[in-house]
Amino acid sequence: MSKPARPLPAVTDVDIRLLRVFRTVVECGGFSAAEVELNISRAAISLHMADLERRLGMSLCRRGRAGFLLTDEGRLAYEAALRLLAGLESFRSEINTAHGRLRGELNIGITDNLVTLPQMHVTHALRGLKTQAPDVRVNIRMIPPNEIERGVLDGRLHVGVVPARRALPGLARLPLYEEESLLYCGRGHPLFDLPAEAVTRAAVEAADAVAPTRAPLPHALNTTATATDREGVAFLLLTGCYVGFLPVHYARQWVERGAMRALLPDSHRHSLDFHAVTKTGAQPNLVLERFMELLGQATAGPPEGP
């Protein structure tokens, strides 16, 4: 598609709407996955994308048997769209701040399977925000930690909850949780019915193990499978063919039903801290400030159950 002979005209409301569709398509990885997120048909998404390409005078993506792929121009347009949409949200937040009103959006990214933690700090803070600011629209995305951090840094997310594995520049952190994990196997595994004293380190280290895709295991295990998230680890453990680490709060539902058991809990255990992250030096945002105040209050108080 040839480039326009004249500069791009003033950005209109229609352009903003099309750019939001484009952003969702990119973040979902294609038209089909974006159908659910946008609640419109694939045909309508295709028309919107074609309209945006005409308005910008560039080809944004390729789609076909090889899947969805951004062009070089598409990647440039996507990054520019992120900055534009984040700027619009920042403008709205600043105007609301000037009026002293708690209105607008709170966009949160959270690592998967934290909802079963007994210390429900995020839940209690969200409850307080809804009580104090019923007009605020809360949007939660369950995505990997690296995507959460990028989202906070580029303005797509206001706050994220991530493991405290490393400190990225530009992010402020509030400690939230300390999560303990144990090594488990599922019913049907050769180690499942053994007495605790008969489960040896050698037997555990020889067993097939499932490991998280992005995080190294804290112990030497025979990794023969990987999973991108904890639910994937649980699926494989419940086959009775693998051992693997799960957070205690998440595995409890299966342990109580007799579907999982912990192995060598005195030696094969580790803990992981989770922090809430926000962008340092971000524009004033009353909604985010109130939420972080509530989150700080929740973490400072005694542990609360569901």
Residues 81-97 as b or e (16 or more Cβ within 10 Å = b): bbeebbeebeeebeebb
Both ends of the chain: CA-CA distance in Å? 55
Q: What is d(CA 201, CA 96) in angstroms, rounded to the nearest whole number?
A: 59
Q: What is d(CA 225, CA 198) in angstroms, rounded to the nearest whole number?
A: 25
Question: How far is residue 54 CA from its own chain's centroid?
Answer: 33
**Two structure tokens written together for 259:** 């579907």
Q: Residue 255 is which amino acid?
A: V
**Two structure tokens written together for 239:** 């086959």
The pLDDT score that the predictor gives to residue 34 is 86
The pLDDT score that the predictor gives to residue 306 is 40
Q: What is d(CA 164, CA 159) in angstroms, rounded to the nearest whole number?
A: 14
Q: What is d(CA 306, CA 303) in angstroms, rounded to the nearest whole number?
A: 10
Cα separations (Å) of 259 from 138, 236, 238?
36, 12, 7
HEC string for 35-72: HHHHCCCHHHHHHHHHHHHHHHCCCCEECCCCCCEECH
Which structural domains are found in the chain, ordered by start?
13-84 (1.10.10.10), 101-174+275-300 (3.40.190.10), 179-272 (3.40.190.10)
HEC string for the chain: CCCCCCCCCCCCHHHHHHHHHHHHHHHHCCHHHHHHHHCCCHHHHHHHHHHHHHHHCCCCEECCCCCCEECHHHHHHHHHHHHHHHHHHHHHHHHHHHHCCCCCEEEEEECCCCCCCCCCHHHHHHHHHHHHCCCCEEEEEECCHHHHHHHHHHCCCCEEEEECCCCCCCEEEEEEEEEEEEEEEECCCCCCCCCHHHCCHHHHHHCEEEEECCCCCCCCCEEEEEECCHHHHHHHHCCCCCEEEEEHHHHHHHHHCCCEEEECCCCCEEEEEEEEEEECCCCCCHHHHHHHHHHHHHHHCCCCCC
Q: How confident is the prediction along the chain (306 residues), in pLDDT tens digits per residue?
A: 444 445 677 788 888 889 999 998 888 888 888 888 888 888 889 899 999 988 888 899 887 766 788 999 998 999 888 888 877 877 776 666 566 667 788 999 988 777 777 778 888 999 999 998 888 999 988 888 888 898 898 888 999 998 887 767 889 999 988 889 999 999 999 999 999 999 999 999 999 999 988 766 767 899 999 998 889 999 999 999 999 999 999 999 999 999 999 999 999 998 888 899 999 887 778 889 899 999 998 887 654 444
The pLDDT score that the predictor gives to residue 68 is 82
